[in-house]
């Protein structure tokens, strides 16, 4: 199912097709991607784990009926999925229980870095989140991840400094964007 489209991108549900599962593995098995996601914890090491990862995403976000989730980002004119974009409740201090704070994030394959896809996809899902009633959305970035911090700045997010409110107390660079005033 298509979640939202942009000029260049289609943001849609991940599927269990071989192409999507191969791309999930290709993204989430790469050390250069996973080093920024929990310090590499959860890196896939076997292609069969891609289906497990997809199923865990589906189960985790099913209660939100499509409002929140992790979605595939696909270039409209063809080619493989470039990565994932997400809007979801942030896990709190215990690392498990969701808070009321909402996160936007992106995980792209290195072959898709540097094309503006993360900014374009994040901007689209932020617009969608604000239209659905979210008033503030956070981006949490591993310290040192300058590329993701640059995406946050391009999105117009405000840097709030380092915080330990979420993900079991992990220290993250925190950015926030408030919903635009309603007309």
Least Cα distance to 83 among 129, 142, 125 occurs for 125
Angle at CA of residue 136, ends 8 and 166, nearest 5°: 100
Query: Each residue's pLDDT tens digit in the chain (183 positions)?
Result: 888 999 999 999 999 999 999 999 999 999 999 999 987 789 999 999 999 999 999 999 999 999 999 999 999 988 789 999 999 999 998 888 899 999 999 999 999 999 999 999 999 999 999 999 999 999 999 999 999 999 999 999 999 999 999 999 999 999 999 999 876
pLDDT, position 123: 98
Phi and psi at 28, nearest 5°, equal: -85, 5
* CB-based contacts of 68, cutoff 8 Å, min separation 6: 61, 86, 87, 88, 89, 102
pTM (predicted TM-score): 0.94
Cβ atoms of 102 and 91 within 8 Å: the answer is no
Cβ atoms of 95 and 31 within 8 Å: the answer is no
pLDDT, position 183: 65
pLDDT, position 126: 98
Q: Which residues pair with residue 159 across a beta bridge?
A: 175
pLDDT, position 33: 95
First to last CA, the chain: 30
Pairing of strands 69-75, 9-13: antiparallel
pLDDT, position 40: 74
């Amino acid at each position: 199912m298509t979640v939202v489209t942009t000029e260049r991108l289609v943001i849609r549900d991940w599927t269990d097709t071989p192409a999507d599962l191969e791309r999930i593995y290709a993204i989430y098995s790469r050390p250069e991607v996973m080093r920024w996601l929990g310090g590499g914890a959860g890196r896939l090491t076997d292609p069969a784990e891609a289906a497990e990862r997809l199923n865990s995403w589906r189960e985790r976000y099913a209660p939100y009926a499509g409002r929140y989730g992790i979605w595939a980002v696909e270039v409209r004119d063809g080619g493989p999925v470039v990565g994932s974009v997400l809007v979801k409740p942030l896990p709190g201090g215990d690392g498990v229980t969701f808070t009321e704070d909402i996160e936007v994030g992106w995980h792209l394959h290195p072959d898709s870095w540097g094309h503006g896809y993360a900014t374009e996809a994040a901007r689209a899902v932020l617009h969608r989140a604000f239209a659905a009633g979210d008033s503030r959305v956070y981006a949490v970035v591993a310290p040192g991840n300058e590329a993701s911090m640059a995406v946050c700045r391009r999105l117009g997010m405000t840097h709030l400094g380092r915080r330990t409110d979420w993900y079991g107390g992990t220290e993250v660079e925190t950015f926030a964007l408030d919903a635009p005033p309603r007309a």
